[in-house]
A and B are shown apart, each in its own frame.
With several copies, the nearest count.
Chain A
Amino acid sequence: MPLSPDRLPDAYRQMLVIRKFEEAIRSLYQQGKIRGSFHPCVGQEATAVGGCWAVRTDDYLTCTYRGHGQALAKGLSVRAAMAEMLGKATGCSKGKGGSMHFTDPSVGLLGANAIVAGGLPHAAGAALAAQLEKSDRVALAFFGEGAVNQGVFFETLNLAAIWKLPVIFICENNRYSEMTPSHATTATVETYKRGGSFGIPASIVDGNDVEAMYQAVEAAVSRARDGGGPSYLEAATYRLWGHMMGDPEIYRTKEEVARAREVEPIVRLSRRLKQLGHSEDDLARLESEAATIIADAQQFAEDSPVPDPADALTDVFA
């Protein structure tokens, strides 16, 4: 089932919220207000929105340190996310998890993970729980193409395949693993073929096209809900910014990045919306709505208190 055209303006706003969230973080980072890691997902907003909008709030999601987009698209509060980035007590993890570990079980977000491929078995395990409970929930596991060389990736695919688990493996292939082009480290650059080698329905999709992304994930999700087992989707996309703050980006040319900007998801969707008859004003309004959401979240985060040092000792055990 395709993403109905009348939801496209909302998708556009959601993608802009993600983009502006990362832009706000970058400037806060540059102001020294954020410590630790920050792995921006700028350029990958369509995989997040297309993928996460194709499931319900009570479906499960695991993602990576680059998963701000997926977390927000799944429903994580922008305020709680922004506060977490600033290490505030009001953050989604009370300042304990930071940029790489956004979590909110109330929207099915079981956790972003800072270990490459570390979250894949968690998604498969949540899918197993759904299967055992005979619910129709599914789980999405987002990961980068560098994860396809990590052992637990394969172990999880095999387990999901033999147990026909309702889990969708979504590989965001943004062409680079940190500063190394993935073709240099991966025997089969078309990572979806690895999914296929376990007998899992596997295909590649244009990850910069939010509608294509939605449709592909939606198809996999309904197959999973009907007991059809796991699917593997490789979403072709591109990381417009560096791997992290301070990445000199010596591994790619400015031209390559410039070309990528012409086909990046937000530009693409704005063109599409105009084709559908939405005016410049409509788009500008959506953009300012997104800006307002981010400004509000930033205000909330900056006004929030830092955690009490004593709280460092809580939340270890239930």
Chain B
Amino acid sequence: MTMLTYAQALNAALREEMQADTRVFLMGEDIGHHGGIFRVTQGLIDIFGAARVRDTPISEAGFVGMGIGAALAGMRPVVELLFMDFALVAADQIVNQAAKLRYMAGGTVSVPLVIRAQQGGGRGNGAQHSQSFESWFAQVPGLITLAPATPADAKGLLKSAIRAGNPVVFVEHKLLYNTKGEVPDGEYLTPIGKAEVKRIGRDVTIVSYSRTLLSALEAAELLAQNGIEAEVIDLRTIEPLDMVTILESIKSTARLLVVHESHANCGLGAEIIARVYEQLPNALVAPARRLGAKHVPIPVAEALEHSVLPQTADIVAAVEAMFD
């Protein structure tokens, strides 16, 4: 175990996988000599050279597409988008190409490509630099979508993603990079498709992931002071969704709140709630709820952004309302 930041954990995962497998290489803007705007690729160019740590032009569609081509040819590219918002200029390559090529080829090719990017709000970066797209990618068959919340899972899931042999959208969060945590040294893999119970509680199940997981855990402590014991589940994998862990939990808590930063409308919260009522229609004693960003673009001014994104206090309030 070593105490690492989320960014350092990602860096360790990249370094270990590049050491272990020469097919792994990186492409992205400012990831080489500069080491990445968020320092995730820091020092990698010194170890692996500019051929495997490639600074790209501002051509996301082009270099994501080249990642696909290299993957088709047997490599294991990891491409970085500076902000997840820029997935939109590469959307055709991600959704029409990476996600579909294997299927359209009847399984004769595969696309072992990892697309990394940080997303989310909270820093006042504005509507074009603060979006959360995991609920969009969850709509796209052929994509695996991961969203670690802790340094340990950041490392464990990124290593799993690189070995997955399939297109993976790897969702990081700009506010998590400097968060610290114990990270297992060396070979450590977090399984894809497996959620984790981060806090045990009997009264309500709070499902979250990425940045809002931390708010959920904070809220759980506050709720405990009012005698409400929340069970907090870290989804970690967005798609494929681990319903087993969720259903197990609500069997005992009988209450469910899903919290995420992507907009509520057609978001993962709605999906989980729909599945819960399909699969365990009578498990809940209070209506399931979800919290997501309000249905407006993400504003810059603190008071505005704060009111648009789900806050710890909103989680507490939503849970308490289940007990009225």
Residues of A that sit less than 8 Å from B by CB = 35-37, 60, 62, 87-88, 91-101, 103-106, 110-111, 113-118, 120-130, 132-133, 139, 146-147, 149-152, 155-156, 158-159, 162-163, 177-180, 184-186, 250-251, 306-318
CB-based A-B contact count at 8 angstroms: 282
User: Pick the contact of A159 from B62, B109, B302, B308 — CB < 8 Å?
Assistant: B62
B236 → chain A, closest Cβ, in Å?
Answer: 18
Residues of B that sit less than 8 Å from A by CB = 25, 29-30, 32-34, 37, 51-52, 54-59, 61-75, 77, 85-86, 89, 92-93, 96-97, 101-110, 112, 123-129, 141-142, 144, 165-166, 294-297, 299-308
User: Pick the contact of B124 from A35, A105, A117, A313 — CB < 8 Å?
Assistant: A35
- Write out the residue numbers on chain B whose beta carbons fall within 8 Å of the beta carbon of A163: 54
B89 → chain A, closest Cβ, in Å?
Answer: 7
Closest 5 CB pairs of A and B: A125-B69, A121-B65, A155-B62, A36-B124, A98-B300
Q: How far is the CA of A122 from the CA of B93 in the complex (A)?
A: 10
A312 and B299 contact, CB distance less than 8 A = yes
Q: How far is the CA of A147 from the CA of B213 in the complex (A)?
A: 36
From B73, B75, B85, name the one whose CB has the most chain A CB atoms within 10 angstroms. B73
User: Pick the contact of A115 from B30, B97, B125, B144 — CB < 8 Å?
Assistant: B97
Q: How far is the CA of A105 from the CA of B297 in the complex (A)?
A: 20
- Write out the residue numbers on chain A whose beta carbons fall within 8 Å of the beta carbon of B86: 115
The residue of chain B having its C-beta at the shortest distance from the C-beta of A246 within the complex is: B37
A185 and B56 contact, CB distance less than 8 A = yes
From A91, A133, A159, A316, name the one whose CB has the most chain B CB atoms within 10 angstroms. A316
B34 and A103 contact, CB distance less than 8 A = no
- Write out the residue numbers on chain B whose beta carbons fall within 8 Å of the beta carbon of A316: 102-103, 141-142, 295-297
Q: List 12 A-B contacts (CB under 8 A).
A: A36-B125, A87-B124, A95-B300, A97-B300, A110-B109, A115-B92, A115-B96, A122-B65, A126-B73, A149-B59, A309-B303, A318-B102
Q: How far is the CA of A91 from the CA of B106 in the complex (A)?
A: 9
B300 and A126 contact, CB distance less than 8 A = no
